[in-house]
Structure 1
Amino acid sequence: MPSREQFHSEMEELNQDIIQLANRTKKALSDSLEALFNQDIELAQQIVSDDKLIDKEEARINDKVILLIAKQQPVATDLRRLIIALRVVTDIERMGDNAKNIAKSTLRLGENYHTGLPVELKAMRDTSLIMLETAISAFQNEDITVAHKLAEMDDKVDKLYKQVVTDMLGKTASNSEDIQYVMQIAFSARYIERFADHITNIGESILFLVKGEIVDLND
């Protein structure tokens, strides 16, 4: 197989690895909210444990990118494509960290809290999952029109986050359990908001890849 064809074959394999990793973080976020709302300690512990697999996969993909650069010595768009791959996989790994942190909040709250959780958390999760699906599509197709759609969805997540924090600040915490509840729910909302921010980073990377311009989708 000619070197050029080999490069494109390896790039396609690399992109599939990245998409699979993104889908792992998608499941991690979905499961983390499931664990939080159902007080599922076992599921939360599994999410924390599985994050190590996400970290290992990120390292493996990074090594693959570096090897490709060393072997193929790409230039212009091909080199930019590999640099973007490194950026995207870093954002995906951090998304996994945020899902893990929600699971840790579940573990800190334990099984005995009885206060209802803000429904906005699920709305934040649902919007973030749609965002991730949109980002994956944009990444696969290098589609800047799709990537631009992430900004509006991220604004929705930001508004929901502010609502949760405002509600938490308005609660009267009279004992240590109440204080812990307010803290962990506010933290969990923040982790989802950060998850969404990393998705917009992926969108920005796609825009830079295709247009060679830096665009702030969080603006």
Structure 2
Amino acid sequence: MVIRENFEKKLAELKGKITEMGELSVTSVERAFHALKHQDVEIALRVMEEDTEVDNLELEINQFAIWLMAKEQPVARDLRVIIGVLRISSEIERIADFGVNLAKATIKIGKGSSLVDIGQLEQMKDICIEMIRKSIQSFTEENLSLAKEVSELEDKVDDYYAATYKKLTTYLSEHPEETDQLVQLLFVNRYLERTADHITNIAENTAYLIKGKIYDFNS
């Protein structure tokens, strides 16, 4: 019984590190978009510099998970939890990378006046932040309902992505002289859409943990 309690504590610690990593990715995306919105290159540069925190935590989580598998030799459901941690840490790292990509787009745009309203992009970002937190909570609490909510929110991001893509490409055809900035905003649109995809992967991993079968919320 004591051995089992110790193992459960280690699993809880591992989940706690996933939560910490998730919040770091939230900070990355939030600050990167703030930099974009306010054309703050200095903040964008800090987002890029601080990405190593996420990378280091992913490495720590992976080493912890591998050590736990080697030491405890978990089977069945416990093994699914640890495999889920490994997969989810990779997804979170990719989400933080998209925060860096947003920061790079901000730097390329520079301090020139904004050509178009980025309100839809901001709404996409807000939904992504909600999705990240729900997906991490769904995993740590093993809550299938929250995982399904994440997939429903992804549909909203996809709708915004399509509408924003149409808006930006139309503006681009009318203002070819502003290609550089508009292309970067198209990249931002794509980065946010891909962020939502990776968050949905976290929800799918949670569903696998709970049900023991593979889900495809993107289908």
Does the residue aligned with 2:108 lie in a helix, a strand or coil?
helix
Q: Give the Cα separation in 2 of the matches to 1:28 and 1:153.
A: 20
Note the 1:156-175 alignment, pairs <5 A: 156-171=156-171, 172-175=174-177
2:63 corresponds to: 63
Q: Give the Cα separation in 1 of the matches to 2:81 and 2:117.
A: 42
Q: Tell me if the contact between 2:18 and 2:136 (Cα under 8 Å) persists in the aligned partners.
A: no
Note the 1:54-133 alignment, pairs <5 A: 54-133=54-133
Q: Give the Cα separation in 2 of the matches to 1:117 and 1:187.
A: 15
TM-score under structure 2 length normalisation: 0.96
Gaps of 5+ in 1: none
Q: Give the Cα separation in 2 of the matches to 1:158 and 1:186.
A: 14
Q: Give the Cα separation in 2 of the matches to 1:42 and 1:116.
A: 22
Q: Tell me if the contact between 1:37 and 1:117 (Cα under 8 Å) persists in the aligned partners.
A: no
Summarize deviations over 1:20-74 as a string: whole Å, max 9, x none.
1001111111111110010000100000111111111111110110011111111
Summarize deviations over 1:168-203 as a string: whole Å, max 9, x none.
11122332xx11111100100111111111111010
Q: Give yes or no for the alignment of 1:201 onto 2:201.
A: yes
Q: Which runs of 4+ in 1 moved over 4 A?
A: none
2:47 corresponds to: 47
2:192 corresponds to: 192
Summarize deviations over 1:84-138 as a string: whole Å, max 9, x none.
1000110000000001100000001111233234210110011111111211221
TM-score under structure 1 length normalisation: 0.96
Q: Give the Cα separation in 2 of the matches to 1:130 and 1:57.
A: 22
1:135 corresponds to: 135
Gaps of 5+ in 2: none
Task: Tell me how large the CA RMSD over aligned residues is.
Answer: 1.2
